Structure 1
């Protein structure tokens, strides 16, 4: 972790020329004391980093300094290549090729074969099983808008089916599981909002804007805030066990009598997402308790059956 942080500090200094310790600490989410220890480590490694006191002071790196190829280990460059490869399906191939070429200039000749071998040991494929053909063009438009500080206008449909027209200032693209999200300032709501890209239609550029202060917020916590979990017990097959591990991590399983099925308990959120998740497992999963969750599942199944019987 420290090596990655030292590399990040070096790249920030090469880009910004000068920055305060407090700004670096905020950016890297560490203490100011840690930043000063890292600066000392960089100096000991031979990188010409200096600190200037005063109001207009800060941390800077010597002009015209270039990173020595030996500064990067084979593991550092392998990690960079794997990360780039994982995004290659969603980012412009031209941009990827240009970045690859730049990184290759950092590889000492005696490391080339080793790095190529290591980078082929891990493959990260972030593309969904079924592709959305509108996704790639939308990502390119949004990225261009962020680079040029141009606002975007589009039609948006929320998860309740409500359709609205939005004009937003784009600030951040986020990939969460298999879905892309846009974090932007909505001029209609006069606040920051998160938009799911797959719900956007008729995306187009609008006027330029002056970027405002944006504090990135992680996705994934909002839907669970203030909600209670219910401990449920399921009878599942080995096939479902793998899917549960993927979604919830290691769980404790016990055999169910003399069958090949298993018993497992885990915290369950009683909302549409939770019930739809259980129903998506079909006859590979049965809720045993508590009774009210089992009854709700039965009611939903009966409603679905009624729908098909009526038609």
Structure 2
């Protein structure tokens, strides 16, 4: 958004000193012409900004000028990174803190930038959780977040999917991730870095000792690798399926993005009935049965035979039940 970019230009020049239009364009991923327009807007707003031509030229603020982002507490400054995520911020117990930080930021902006920022807030809203989902219990999320901030070990009682379902774990929490409205804590335990769903924590005890977060640990990079590994574990096998035109159209609404991508990549030309043959990954026979039943008569599984047989058995059972 342009208002955010104008603030970014101002803060970049405040923290880095002189920068060329090309440097600013690369840093903000816009064109040089856009930077020229933004600098003109800052001039109009009364920001003491000037530029020099030549090899050593560039834009810089007048000596001594600083934005008046004063009065922010430590928590408010940290919470600004959650300003675009009101739901998760509230779940972390930082809803009021984010609001206070935004008010102070708005008060410090020039009138033009303040008006633009207000228009963005009035016209855009992010609601991250998926549809038709009850809110997971997040009783221990603030305590987990506190352990992440302060690098404190925690002892948790955790519910997992395999037996034994309830286990005790001593965690060194490195970070928190929100995925589709679900909170996950990335933590080291028993020498390995693993991922735990916060809503499955049944009990938590703060331990007195601290841990040392490893230098260079990149939470975003870890999460990308975790997702790749997670999706690979789900691919138990493949299914060859015929889809009607309506089934192909409904696929993005009923299946996961990985299945949709695979279907589009493997789609063969429609046959004489207009149906398309695709090859998609499946997690298990049981899971795939429920997934393909959602497509009803708009899908026909050709292989594997075990999945085709299971779907046929389920269809017969349903017919008998409803016929009776």
Question: What is aligned with 2:31?
Answer: none
1:172 aligns with 2:186: no
Change (3 A) 1:148 1:177: same
TM-score by length of 1: 0.61
Question: What is aligned with 2:230?
Answer: 223
Query: Aligned partners of 1:276, 1:65: CA distance in 2, in Å?
Result: 65
Question: What is aligned with 1:292?
Answer: 305
1:46 Cα deviation (Å)?
1.4
Contact kept, 8 Å, 2:289 with 2:307, in 1: the verdict is no
Change (3 A) 1:108 1:296: farther
Greater mean deviation of Cα atoms: 101-110 or 80-89: 80-89
Contact kept, 8 Å, 1:240 with 1:281, in 2: the verdict is no
Greater mean deviation of Cα atoms: 291-300 or 170-179: 291-300
Question: What is aligned with 1:132?
Answer: 135
Change (3 A) 1:7 1:114: closer
Q: 2:250 aligns with which of 220, 237, 240?
A: 240
SS at match of 1:160: coil
Query: Aligned partners of 1:132, 1:170: CA distance in 2, in Å?
Result: 23
Greater mean deviation of Cα atoms: 214-223 or 171-180: 214-223
Contact kept, 8 Å, 1:138 with 1:203, in 2: the verdict is yes
Query: Aligned partners of 1:247, 1:166: CA distance in 2, in Å?
Result: 33
SS at match of 2:60: coil
1:221 Cα deviation (Å)?
1.0
1:119 Cα deviation (Å)?
2.9
Over aligned residues, Cα RMSD in angstroms?
4.6
1:165 Cα deviation (Å)?
0.3
- Structure with greater helix percent: 2
1:46 aligns with 2:57: no
1:288 Cα deviation (Å)?
3.1
Contact kept, 8 Å, 1:86 with 1:123, in 2: the verdict is no
1:233 Cα deviation (Å)?
2.4
Greater mean deviation of Cα atoms: 94-103 or 197-206: 94-103
Contact kept, 8 Å, 1:287 with 1:294, in 2: the verdict is no
SS at match of 1:243: helix
Query: Aligned partners of 2:309, 2:181: CA distance in 1, in Å?
Result: 29
1:267 aligns with 2:269: no
Change (3 A) 1:205 1:284: farther
Greater mean deviation of Cα atoms: 195-204 or 208-217: 208-217
Question: What is aligned with 2:73?
Answer: none
Query: Aligned partners of 2:286, 2:59: CA distance in 1, in Å?
Result: 51
Contact kept, 8 Å, 1:155 with 1:202, in 2: the verdict is yes
1:293 Cα deviation (Å)?
6.1
Greater mean deviation of Cα atoms: 296-305 or 142-151: 296-305
Contact kept, 8 Å, 2:157 with 2:204, in 1: the verdict is yes
SS at match of 1:295: helix
Contact kept, 8 Å, 1:231 with 1:267, in 2: the verdict is yes
Query: Aligned partners of 1:266, 1:45: CA distance in 2, in Å?
Result: 55
- CA deviation map 1:65-108 (0-9, x unaligned): 73478xxxxxxxxx979723353443322222133224314532
Greater C-alpha radius of gyration = 2
Question: What is aligned with 2:66?
Answer: 66
Change (3 A) 1:184 1:291: closer
Question: What is aligned with 1:145?
Answer: 147
SS at match of 1:221: helix
SS at match of 1:83: coil
> Structure 2: which 5+ residue stretches go unaligned?
17-26, 28-54, 70-79
Question: What is aligned with 1:56?
Answer: none
SS at match of 1:125: coil
